[in-house]
Structure formats: structure tokens, C-alpha cells
Amino acid sequence: MESDIKLIDADGKRLDGRKIDELRKIKIEAGVLHRADGSCYLEWGGNKVVAAVYGPREAIPRHSQNPLKAIVRARYNMAAFSVEDRKRPGPDRRSREISKVTSEALEKIVLTDKFPRAAIDVNIEVLEAEAGTRCAGLTAAGVALADAGIPMTDIPVACAAGKIGSNDENGKKTGGHVVLDLGKREDNFGDADLPIAISPRTGEIILLQMDGHLTLEEFDQALTLAIKGCNIISEIQKDALLEKYQKGLEVD
């Protein structure tokens, strides 16, 4: 059965050949959409995500306005063709939850009190999914917000850690390994997934979710590992922004 799949071998190598603390390949490009105020395209392993930022603009409907600060409205959406079996389009329970936690994470880092009564819309579109799309979406949203010129205290970054391999090939329980950035099969057949988002400058955690079971020691281990991953990705985000805008400076 596929659920008995061996996710990690004796040398600590994973299915796709990664080490336990190795990320998938990440590519970030800022400012890809012409009509949006800010945008970002991100590839993270098999994930392909576009984030677009519109605003700040007047919040509509009016009852959603806050007279003291701006509201951040993130909308996470998976394209129907983003997964193997066609996903029924439209918001579902899962994507509404992700939209909500992403909005709350982004609201923490945007200087919302500069734009009373306004809304900042963040649209995250998952074109291709391969585990860890909420992390990919939030990471892309961070770059898109910076690209839109929105004042913020930090560029948010997200990454997941998890636990895999507690079933050996005979189906017996073993210790398992805490690993960074779960792939698709690791997510499906692993034991736990811990996506987090942080504000890399202060180290503040702005999103934390967990699926599965971890002991307290494993949780601490996974959290440390995920924060380490976040810091690596944060540098890629900054490079993407610099690459896009430093070029304009070198024209002579």
C-alpha cells in the first residue's frame, strides 16, 4: 500500500533526495503583473503561485471599514487545474481558513494605521500545488506587498517543518524524523506538518498551525527548523526585490 511508503532512508535521505534540513528549490520574481499595484510570482518545488496586491483603496462595503486603520483582505484561491484531480472551483472551507489566517498574519506587519477606512487586497492564486501552498502564498504575498510600496514593518516569510518516517517498511512504529519543508507525499503520509510564518527582523511568529501529532521535544525541534528555513527564504525574497529595482538604477 502506498501509505506504507518509506519516506526516509537509513542515510537520512528523503524521497526526492533532500537532506532532513534541506528546502526545495525556490524562485521568486517581483513585479510580474502590469495592472496590479504590486505582484509576485513564486515557484517553490512543485508549487507555482502568483500574488497580486491592490490598494490601499476605499474599503467596500462601507461597514467593513475601520475608521482608525486599514483592513487587509487576503484571498487564497486554488486553480481548478492546480491539483491532480480537478478541484471544484470557488472558496471552500479550507481556502477560507487559509485566507483568514493569511489576512491576520499580513495585518500584523502592514502599518495599517496610515490608511484609515482603506482596504488592502491581496489575491493569492495557486496555479500548481505540491504541498506547502499556504507558506508559498504568504511568502509571495509578502514580496507583492513590498512591491506595491505599502508601508510595513517587515517582509513576512513562511515555511513548514514536519515529522515523517515513523512507519518502517514492515509497518512497525519507529522514532521518525523531524524534517524541513514537507513534499507532497511527505505531507500526505507523514505524521505531522507545522507551517509557520515569521517576521524575520524580530523573529515574531505571525502564523502557526499544526496538523498531526508531535511530542513537545519534536515540536520545539520542528519550530527551530522552520524558523531556520524562514530566514533562508527571507534572503531570497529580498534578493528578488533588489534584483527587480536595482536594475533600474544601473541604466546610464
Q: Which residues contact 193 (CB under 8 A, 6 or more apart)?
A: 160, 162, 182, 187, 210, 211, 212
Rounded CA-CA distance 42/187 in Å is: 20
64 near another protein, judged by CB under 8 A: no
150 near another protein, judged by CB under 8 A: yes
- Binders of another protein in range 85-114 (CB under 8 A): 111
2 near another protein, judged by CB under 8 A: no
Rounded CA-CA distance 248/232 in Å is: 26
Candidate segments 14-22, 42-50, 79-87, 145-153, binder of another protein by CB under 8 A: 145-153
Distance set, CA 220 to CA 6, 33, 61, 176 (Å): 24, 39, 42, 15
By C-beta, is 67 or 90 nearer to another protein?
67
Q: Please, what is the minimum distance in Å from the beta carbon of residue 25 to another protein?
A: 23
252 near another protein, judged by CB under 8 A: yes
Which of 98, 118, 158, 179 lies at the binding interface for another protein (CB under 8 A)? Answer: 118
Which of 23, 107, 116, 219 lies at the binding interface for another protein (CB under 8 A)? Answer: 116
| Range 230-249 burial, b when 16+ CB lie within 10 A, else e | beebbebbbebbeebeeeee
By C-beta, is 36 or 98 nearer to another protein?
36
Which residues of the chain form contacts with another protein (CB under 8 A)? 37-38, 55-58, 67, 111, 115-118, 146-155, 199-201, 238, 241-242, 245-246, 248-249, 251-252
